[in-house]
Structure 1
Amino acid sequence: MGSTAERSARVSPLSVVGWVGLAALLASGFLAALGGLNQTLYGASSFVTRYLELIADDDIALAAATPGVSLDQADLAALGLPADVSTALLRSTVVSAAPESVQITADVAHEDGSHTVTASYRLGTAIIDTEFEVRPIAPLYGVLNRWEFAVSPMAVIDVTAAHNPFFQVGALNLDTRARKSGDDLTAFSQTAPYLAIAPAVYEFSYESALLIAQTVELPAEPSSRPSVTVDAQPTPEFVSRVQTQLDAYLDGCATQQVLQPTSCPFGEEISDRVLSAPQWSIVSYPTVTLSAGETAFEMPPTPGVAHLSVEVQSLFDGEVQQLETDETFQVALDASIQPDGSISVQLK
């Protein structure tokens, strides 16, 4: 038997070439597989698709963390937004409808490595086509493509809470005054911007014992700035409470045994001699109706009827008689909800 050195010397050059070829083949296969991954799973189209799927899965926190979605201070300033703009909508249970039936209809590569990816999807009842601009960032493990949105798809929703600072969206109850101070806190209607994941549909509403606003459905497309008004109006309970206060006020006026009750909307002037204490009663109370004004809910001048009963003596012939007369009067008022939930009524 030959020595180990002799057996090594007899290794065929063809075997070496074979091993080199196999290594080259494996390297070529790896590169091909890597290229395939970068074109598919790690491609620009997949990046956009995953973002839309996160919204569909209501994983809003992860969608907001997708590279290129968040807005830095420079972005906020360019949009005219404060650095502390509300992010309250960037959470689950807020979106009422997410993109469905997503299809990538185009993926155009540019010389600088960026891509324009066009996605078609259904949002609510509408079919929408959106172009997303994405660009490469530092690759994963140095070899797998990673991307970010060159233009953030984040939407900004300007919410006007009319006649009431509060509104509801999804499972959230929000106050438009949260980041305000000073005189801004007292405005009858409030407007505030909110960052929102897009594309998505949001439903805005409000309901309490005293105020109610009809639900408004708002589609927010990527990189858009839509606005919505939550128009709060008095409930029957609100109107009933104001009516109760107004009736009590008029009843108080009627207890004053004078011809001209102080700070009251009715009174009588009599030229004859008054022989008895005047007795007032309310025949018909003004019916309260409320509509939004500039600073409060307003009731326009509304008629009522008061009755006066008093014994008088004629200065002309001395005749004594019981005067019974109805007097029509009008009442207008402002009504507003106080911080403690009570209703303030101011007569005008």
Structure 2
Amino acid sequence: MGKRSRTRSGVSPLVVLGWSGAAALLIGAFFGAFAILNQTVYGPASFVERYLTAIADDDILTAASTPGVALDTDELAELGLPADTSRAMLRDGVIEAGPEDISVTVGEAQGDGVYAVTANYRVGTEIVETTFHVKRIAPLYGVLSRWAFAESPLAVMNVTVQHGSFFTVGENGLTLDTRATKSGEELTAFTQSAPYLVVAPAAYSLDFDDPLLHADDVDAVAAPGERADVVLDVQATDAFVERVQTKLDEHLAACAEQHVLQPAECPFGTYIDDRVTSEPKWSIANSPVVTLTPGDGAFELAQTQGVAHLSVEVQSLYDGTIEQHEEDVPFTISLTARIKPDGNIVVSLR
């Protein structure tokens, strides 16, 4: 029988070949596992799905910190937005609903290494299909793929508050002031607007309600990379009207306390041809009923009628007889009402 060949170390070449093959298989399996991970957990589809799931879970901080989501100053400028565009809505508890029933598919790589990832999902009752573009960034540990949005999916919500400046959004009741970054004459405008960066896709619900002002809910769905215009119609509450009514009644009562035929800075007065022999006494027979509607620069009461009553003793210049003169004096009045920053109401009669 022939002698079996051995290496100098005494190990058979066949064993060495076996070990080498096993090592090659292990290395191949190792890199194969990474390849599978890069196609699944670390693939572009999973990247987009994680972003959408974060929104659905109301984990807005995670969604907003996803690579490629944040917009820098130059990118804001390209969108025609100021550098101080508010990011106040990029927080948890603001969205009304996120994407549900998510399914994601990846298209072919484009020439510039960007992948088109198509996501189908539902926001509320609306079924939506969106194509996101993602690109590779520096890999994790040098082997696991990492991705970023090639174009930010953030949306811009232009919020206009007619006849006010404040609005409330989200289940936590976040109240924002559209004047926050303004100064000078811009602060005095009766209607205010401001842009806000918001995560998308997501549904939002905006309203406003305080003792003096109210705006009904306005729902909006923000689509990735697009702009949504939201307009809130703020109206005076009953409490606001009552406070203006009180101020008007107090003013008219003060007018009635003037014992003259023509009370100064008051909407009513009269002339008497005969001689007045007693102090004129005024009372308000019918006070104008306040209703407030938005005007160009304030809430307004249009010309409204009231009635003052005059009681005074007069002597006839014709025959000298003295009699008690009683007269109802109709008058009209209008006014504007504004809410000061400290919550007080300024009423200006017209």
Do the aligned residues in 1 keep the contact of 2:162 with 2:191 (CA within 8 Å)?
Answer: yes
What's 2:285 paired with? 283
SS of the aligned residue for 1:188 comes to coil
Do the aligned residues in 1 keep the contact of 2:201 with 2:224 (CA within 8 Å)?
Answer: yes
Give per-residue Cα distances to partners, 1:298-329, cap 9 Å, x unaligned. Answer: 00000001111122222233333222111111
Do the aligned residues in 1 keep the contact of 2:45 with 2:105 (CA within 8 Å)?
Answer: no
For 2:285 and 2:90, locate their aligned partners in 1 and report how far apart those are by CA, in whole Å.
Answer: 57
Give per-residue Cα distances to partners, 1:204-242, cap 9 Å, x unaligned. Answer: 111111111111111111111112122221111110010
Matches within 5 A, 1:208-247: 208-247=210-249
Task: Kindly report the root-mean-square deviation, in angstroms, between the aligned alpha carbons of the 2 structures.
Answer: 1.7
Do the aligned residues in 2 keep the contact of 1:108 with 1:117 (CA within 8 Å)?
Answer: no
For 1:297 and 1:9, locate their aligned partners in 2 and report how far apart those are by CA, in whole Å.
Answer: 100
What's 1:146 paired with? 146
Give per-residue Cα distances to partners, 1:129-151, cap 9 Å, x unaligned. Answer: 11101111111111111111011
Matches within 5 A, 1:151-166: 151-166=151-166
More off after superposition, 28-37 vs 291-300: 28-37
For 1:264 and 1:7, locate their aligned partners in 2 and report how far apart those are by CA, in whole Å.
Answer: 120
Do the aligned residues in 2 keep the contact of 1:140 with 1:146 (CA within 8 Å)?
Answer: yes
For 2:266 and 2:6, locate their aligned partners in 1 and report how far apart those are by CA, in whole Å.
Answer: 127
Cα deviation for residue 70 of structure 1 reads: 0.2
For 1:108 and 1:304, locate their aligned partners in 2 and report how far apart those are by CA, in whole Å.
Answer: 76
What's 1:81 paired with? 81
Give per-residue Cα distances to partners, 1:236-292, cap 9 Å, x unaligned. Answer: 111001000100111111111111111111111111222221111111000000011
Cα deviation for residue 184 of structure 1 reads: 1.4
What's 2:125 paired with? 125
What's 1:187 paired with? 189
What's 1:25 paired with? 25
What's 2:59 paired with? 59
Matches within 5 A, 1:172-321: 172-321=174-323
Do the aligned residues in 2 keep the contact of 1:45 with 1:107 (CA within 8 Å)?
Answer: no
For 2:104 and 2:245, locate their aligned partners in 1 and report how far apart those are by CA, in whole Å.
Answer: 60
What's 1:102 paired with? 102
For 1:9 and 1:93, locate their aligned partners in 2 and report how far apart those are by CA, in whole Å.
Answer: 70
More off after superposition, 326-335 vs 135-144: 135-144
Cα deviation for residue 110 of structure 1 reads: 2.1
What's 2:92 paired with? 92
Cα deviation for residue 175 of structure 1 reads: 1.5
Give per-residue Cα distances to partners, 1:58-101, cap 9 Å, x unaligned. Answer: 11111111010000111011112221221111111111111111
What's 1:16 paired with? 16
More off after superposition, 133-142 vs 109-118: 109-118
Do the aligned residues in 2 keep the contact of 1:136 with 1:147 (CA within 8 Å)?
Answer: yes
Number of residues of Structure 1 aligned to a counterpart in Structure 2: 344
Cα deviation for residue 105 of structure 1 reads: 4.3
Distance change in 2, residues 1:65/1:6 (3 Å)? closer
SS of the aligned residue for 1:327 comes to strand
For 1:250 and 1:310, locate their aligned partners in 2 and report how far apart those are by CA, in whole Å.
Answer: 19
For 1:38 and 1:206, locate their aligned partners in 2 and report how far apart those are by CA, in whole Å.
Answer: 47
Counterpart of 1:72, as a letter, is D
SS of the aligned residue for 2:227 comes to coil
Give percent identity, aligned residues only.
Answer: 56
Length-normalised TM-score, structure 1:
0.95
Cα deviation for residue 162 of structure 1 reads: 2.2
Length-normalised TM-score, structure 2:
0.94
For 1:112 and 1:33, locate their aligned partners in 2 and report how far apart those are by CA, in whole Å.
Answer: 26
Given candidates 326, 330, 336, the residue that maps to 1:324 is 326
For 1:9 and 1:105, locate their aligned partners in 2 and report how far apart those are by CA, in whole Å.
Answer: 55
For 2:6 and 2:49, locate their aligned partners in 1 and report how far apart those are by CA, in whole Å.
Answer: 62
For 1:174 and 1:227, locate their aligned partners in 2 and report how far apart those are by CA, in whole Å.
Answer: 16
Cα deviation for residue 12 of structure 1 reads: 3.0
Cα deviation for residue 106 of structure 1 reads: 4.7
For 2:223 and 2:114, locate their aligned partners in 1 and report how far apart those are by CA, in whole Å.
Answer: 22
Structure 1 residue runs without a partner (length 5+): none
What's 2:116 paired with? 116
What's 1:46 paired with? 46
Cα deviation for residue 32 of structure 1 reads: 2.1
Give per-residue Cα distances to partners, 1:20-61, cap 9 Å, x unaligned. Answer: 222222222222222111111111110000000111111111
Distance change in 2, residues 1:287/1:21 (3 Å)? same
Do the aligned residues in 2 keep the contact of 1:168 with 1:205 (CA within 8 Å)?
Answer: yes
For 1:68 and 1:153, locate their aligned partners in 2 and report how far apart those are by CA, in whole Å.
Answer: 8
